[in-house]
Amino acid sequence: MLLGLLFAALATTYLLVSHRNELNAREHAEASLELGARVFDEAARQRIDYLASSASVMTGDYAIKQVLGSEHPDSRTLSSTLQSYVTRVGAPVIVLFDPDRLMLASSQGGMDDENRGPFDYLIRLAAKDDMPRASGFSYLSRQLHVLVVVPLYAPYPNIAAWFGLAFPIDRTFAQKIKDTTQLEVTFVSTEDSVHPRVLATTLSASAGDIVARAAIANLTTHSRTQILDLSGDRYVTLFKSQEMLGEDAVTVVLQRPLSPELAAATELENYLLLVSLAALAAATLLALWIARGVSQPVQQLAAHTQIIARGDYTARLTLDRVDELGQLGAAMNQMSAGLAERDRVRDLLDKNVSPEVAAQLMRDGGAALGGEEREVTILFADLRGFTTLSEKLPPRELLALLNRYLDRMSAAIEAHGGVIDKFIGDAIMALFGAPVAQGDAADRALAAALAMEHALVALNAELAAEDRPPLAIGIGVNTARVVAGNIGSHRRLNYSVIGDGVNVAARLQSETRKPEHRTNIITSSATLVALRDAKKISSRPLGPVQVKGRAEPVEIFAVG
């Protein structure tokens, strides 16, 4: 009886953990599918907006207006003009209708009544409600498309013509959704309940047929999600109905395999299974003795596995035994400690960007407010003329150029052992000697500054080839004793350094803007004194300067 109870307890624990793990995996997969459904809606909306925007541009085309303004519009000229827009706007189907919805021209030549029908439907809808555009999903030549119609006014509010554009919802579109969401995507036409048609899918043909039949069955069950067996794996499947223009809705099917979600949980279940079998074997061999002494430890073990299954890794199991059950308790405590350590590392990495900072916090025993005094070398770099540049470039191009510049500069800093403390707009603050002490921090900082200067030369060569103006940089380097540590609140921390030396480094960077210095890199005498190998650094004295916020002048030197 005792063996039966033990077996039941272990089996129940295993099943509870397994069931809970599968529920968690399904919940996570379903959340991913819901996000994927929103991504699809957003992608379709963006495509509609793009088509509408392209159509609005076409309404201003002088050539089209000129032909339409003639007494007898030339359909060949119009068709040729529409064909020229196909590649430009990425819409393979562009159609032009007169105010009475008669087709004037098409990018595909002739178009039968069946394919003109969806455009006619949208034109009626837009004209009825005086809408600036109308859009929806429909079939063109039995292929799913998203359609948009936009009026051409000449002059407003008289409508001279209607533009219709269509974009295919095909495998290419489905693959883009998959690339974004990591989900399998299938579009199914359910108008024929006996022979459903796969319009597009990222799956194989055989798997797509299974999904199509499941979509038909879902029309009666109306289940939002279910599990399907495909290609030897179980897939969490979401069915989303997409409304059509006067036709039966298309079913959008999003899927995510369950096995990746269960991988970590399966490993834990296998471990628990091995532990349970070992405990049962020991109980079988020592049944008489176990009947008196093992029931309580087994209950503790069962309760503790449930605690672990709930995600509480702080509790510890106390079993003062040297037998198998004692070893099992120690192993479970080690497992709890490992899982807790994993969560602690994850929390630390959420609060700190740099891997070096995270490693230092781990050695120090956690992320707490406070710091220590140490000697570091601080590097400030600033992009000159950025304000003027920002006035000349569009925001997207400006951001792309800034990220390109910061990527090159960051690579040079990190290649010499520096840690990016923060980005301040187009400025960079980097540390050498913190959080990890470096005996040659000054050497590394100046070498990084020279590497940044060389990297900018290479970047400017690329910009010159692109017919863009060159960039200029100013770098200030200073070595000083500062306070390094965690700054912020108990909810959000930032590892940084504070002190007079930081202010000096920033002021030295500002000094590079003075034309009389004729240099991009300025360092202090303190940094030159701290060098281990001064012969590798070429410098020339610039004399003392009065730094704002400091009573004593600072001896500065040009580097390079």
CATH, domain 366-559, list 3.30.70.1230, 3.30.420.10, 1.10.10.60, 1.20.1260.120: 3.30.70.1230
Distance CA 119, CA 138 (A): 9
pLDDT of residue 347: 59
Judge whether 255 and 186 are in contact, CB under 8 Å.
yes
pLDDT of residue 522: 95
Burial class (CB in 10 A: 0-12, 13-18, 19+), 419: buried
Domain spans of the chain, in order of start: 2-21+264-348, 60-168, 178-257, 366-559
Task: For 314, list phi and psi in degrees, rounded to 5.
Answer: -85, -25
pLDDT exceeds 50 at position 314: yes
Tokens of 19: 């069931």
pLDDT of residue 458: 95
Distance CA 382, CA 475 (A): 7
Q: Which of the residue ranges 237-251, 315-329, 406-420, 439-453 would you say has the lowest mean pLDDT?
A: 315-329
Confidence of residue 366 (pLDDT cuts 50, 70, 90): very low
pTM over 0.85: no
Confidence of residue 350 (pLDDT cuts 50, 70, 90): very low
CATH, domain 60-168, list 3.40.50.1100, 3.30.1490.20, 3.10.20.310, 3.30.450.20: 3.30.450.20
Confidence of residue 362 (pLDDT cuts 50, 70, 90): low
Closest CA to 161 of 78, 89, 83: 78
Instruction: Compute the average pLDDT of residues 2-13.
Output: 70
DSSP string, 116-167: HHHHHHHHHHHHHTT-S-EEEEEEETTEEEEEEEEEEESSTTSEEEEEEEEE
DSSP string, 4-20: HHHHHHHHHHHHHHHHH
pLDDT tens, residue by residue, 418-475:
999 899 888 999 999 988 888 899 999 999 999 999 999 999 999 999 988 899 999 9
pLDDT exceeds 60 at position 357: no
pLDDT exceeds 50 at position 368: no
Mean pLDDT of the chain: 83
pLDDT tens, residue by residue, 171-218:
999 999 999 889 999 999 988 888 899 999 999 999 999 999 999 988
pLDDT exceeds 50 at position 232: yes
Task: For 142, list phi and psi in degrees, rounded to 5.
Answer: 65, 10
pLDDT of residue 23: 82
- Count CA atoms within 13 Å of residue 230 on its CB side: 24
Q: Which of the residue ranges 64-68, 105-109, 344-348, 424-428 would you say has the lowest mean pLDDT?
A: 344-348
pLDDT of residue 455: 96
pLDDT of residue 355: 56
pLDDT tens, residue by residue, 70-127:
666 677 777 777 887 888 888 889 888 888 888 888 887 777 888 888 999 999 988 8
Confidence of residue 309 (pLDDT cuts 50, 70, 90): confident
pLDDT of residue 192: 83
- Alpha-carbon torsion, ordered 305, 310, 313, 317, to 10 deg: -30
pLDDT exceeds 90 at position 507: yes
Bond into 435 cis (ω within 30): yes
